Amino acid sequence: MTIKAALAGAGAFGIKHLDGIKNIDGVEVVSLIGRELDKTREVAQKYGIGHVTTDLADTLALPEVDAVILCTPTQMHASQALACLKAGKHVQVEIPLCDVLAEGQAVVDLQRSTGLVAMCGHTRRFNPSHQWVNQKIRAGQFHIQQMDVQTYFFRRSNMNALGQPRSWTDHLLWHHAAHTVDLFAYQCGSPVVRANAIQGPIHPTLGIAMDMSIQLQAANGAICTLSLSFNNDGPLGTFFRYIGDTGTYIARYDDLFTGKEEPIDVSQVAVSMNGIELQDREFFAAIREGREPNASVASVLPCYEVLHSLEQQLNSH
CATH code, domain with 61: 3.40.50.720
Contact, 104 vs 77, CB < 8 A?
no
Q: Please indicate, yes or no, whether residues 114 and 143 belong to a single structural domain of this protein.
A: no
Secondary structure percentages of the chain, helix, strand, coil, to 5 = 35, 25, 35
Helices within 122-274 (DSSP H only): 128-138, 178-188
The torsion angle over the Cα atoms of residues 71, 77, 80 and 86, rounded to 10 degrees, is 120
Look at residue 183 and tell me if it is in a domain.
Answer: yes
Q: Please indicate, yes or no, whether residues 31 and 145 belong to a single structural domain of this protein.
A: no
pLDDT score recorded for residue 235: 87
Bond from prior residue into 96 cis (ω within 30 degrees of 0): yes
The whole model's pTM is what? 0.94
Q: Please indicate, yes or no, whether residues 214 and 255 belong to a single structural domain of this protein.
A: yes
| Domain span including residue 175 | 127-269
Burial class (CB in 10 A: 0-12, 13-18, 19+), 121: buried
In the chain, the percentage of residues whose pLDDT exceeds 90 is 87
Q: Is 101 helix (H, G, I), strand (E, B) or coil?
A: helix
pLDDT score recorded for residue 254: 86
CATH code for the domain of 188: 3.30.360.10
The overall average pLDDT reported for the chain is 94
- How many domains are there within the chain? 2
Task: List, for residues 118-172, the tens digit of each pLDDT value.
Answer: 999 999 999 999 999 999 999 999 999 999 999 998 877 666 556 666 555 678 8
pLDDT score recorded for residue 203: 87
Cβ neighbours for 244, distance < 8 A, ≥ 6 positions apart:
142, 143, 144, 145
The torsion angle over the Cα atoms of residues 196, 201, 206 and 210, rounded to 10 degrees, is -60
Q: Is 147 helix (H, G, I), strand (E, B) or coil?
A: strand
pLDDT score recorded for residue 157: 64
Q: Please indicate, yes or no, whether residues 171 and 200 belong to a single structural domain of this protein.
A: yes
